Amino acid sequence: MAEEGRLAGMRALVTGSGTGIGRGIALAYAAAGARVALHYAHSAEGAESAVEQITSTGGEAQAFQADLRDLEALNEMTARAMDYLDGIDILVNNAGITMNKPFLDVTPDQFDTLFGVNIRGMYFTTQAVAPAMVAQGSGAIINLSSVHASTGMTEHTIYAATKSAIVGFTRVLALELGPKGIRVNAIAPGWILVENHLKVLGDDIDTEALGKDLPAGFVGAPEDIGHLATYLACDESRYLLGQTIIIDGGQTSIMPLSGDFREPRTEQWGQGYVDGL
């Protein structure tokens, strides 16, 4: 089904939408007809350019800044965003930060920073917005987790812990808010190529070659997450609650130590037994 008009008349707040996945979701929502409030912490240029892109095609959007570790700033931002939108129908908790560091070298400040943004910020942004959804008897909340919640990668103990916590938070919140007409689900992306990857890996990275290591044959883009987030925000997903949907190009489907998924298997397991039955 074409996405145009799927979210017509709906009002959405997308956190962390100055870059990457959040920006992609905000643009997808606007393309589907929603009015969008774009939150950002540091990426003012990206958020404002997204607003310009949306408004230049007749959409409605505005950017709002806040450090989600600061509860006063968080509450002020959500209030201003909902005032601009005149209510709220969709909340996307996308804001998050990552860091890789060996477990034994992680400092308490680094731990608190990641949990402060990825979990505490998400928790209290939702708490600030949910009463308006409860009052109107409807709403959709979408939390961004990661494949790090279900697979392991060294030096990501804090990040993986926050993304695992989001899965549990989503499941329980869906039980509490579902009877009030609010659907809560999560998205767990695999590798999605965003600006921060290019800063680390370089602009000349061969993404086509990297994509060959995925069953899908390519590395995902923010708009891929935007399409799924649009589905989770509209009534077509009305029977979906408390779930975390993995979208990773088949990344987590590959069994470890099983060899190259592109090559035929040389071992024959049980064929003689099966053929003899």
**Dihedral over Cα of 114, 23, 15, 163: its sign:** negative
Supply the mean pLDDT for the chain: 92
Q: Return all residues near 2 (Cβ < 8 A) that are at least 6 apart.
A: none
Q: What are phi and psi of 143, to 5 degrees?
A: -105, 140
Let me know if residue 4 belongs to a domain: no
Does 114 have pLDDT greater than 50? yes
pLDDT, tens digit, 9 for 90 and up, residues 228-242? 999 999 999 999 999
In Å, how far are 40, 77, 105, 133, 178 from 128, measured between CA atoms?
A: 17, 10, 35, 10, 17
To 10 degrees, the CA torsion angle through 258, 247, 195, 126?
-130
Whether 81 has a pLDDT exceeding 90, the answer reads yes
Q: Which helix (H) or strand (E) holds 151?
A: none
In a domain, 1, yes or no: no
Residue 29 placed within a domain: yes
Active-site positions read 159
Task: Give the neighbor-by-neighbor strand order of the sheet with 244-247.
Answer: 61-65, 35-40, 11-14, 90-93, 139-144, 182-189, 244-247
Lowest mean pLDDT among 32-41, 120-129, 142-151, 207-216: 207-216
pLDDT score, position 197: 56
Mean pLDDT, residues 85-98: 97
- Range with lowest mean pLDDT among 3-12, 58-67, 80-89, 235-244: 3-12
Q: Is 204 a member of any domain?
A: yes
Residue 5 in any domain: the answer is no
Domain assignment present for 2: no
Place of tokens 């990344």: 251
Query: Do 92 and 142 form a contact (C-beta atoms < 8 A)?
Result: yes
- Mean pLDDT confidence for 87-97: 97
CA pair distance 128, 249, nearest whole angstrom: 34
Q: Please give the average per-residue pLDDT across 129-137, as a whole number.
A: 98
Per-residue pLDDT tens over the stretch 153-164: 999 999 999 999
Euclidean distance between CA atoms 164 and 188, whole angstroms: 10
CA dist 113 and 45 (Å) reads 23
Tokens of residue 3, six digits? 């996405």
Q: Is the pLDDT of residue 180 over 70?
A: yes
- Record the pTM: 0.92
CA geometry: angle 238, 117, 156, nearest 5 deg? 95
User: Which has more confidence, 271 or 194?
Assistant: 194
Q: What is the CATH number of the domain that holds 162?
A: 3.40.50.720
Structural domains counted in the chain: 1
Is the pLDDT confidence value at 165 over 60?
yes
Find, among 168, 77, 175, the residue nearest to 128 by Cα: 77
Tally the C-alpha atoms within 13 A of residue 54's C-alpha that lie toward its C-beta: 28
- pLDDT at residue number 194: 80
For residue 1, the model assigns a pLDDT of 44
The per-residue pLDDT for 56 is 97
What is the SS3 assignment for 209? helix
> Has residue 54 been placed in a domain?
yes
Span 198-212, average pLDDT: 71
For 239, the domain range is: 11-275
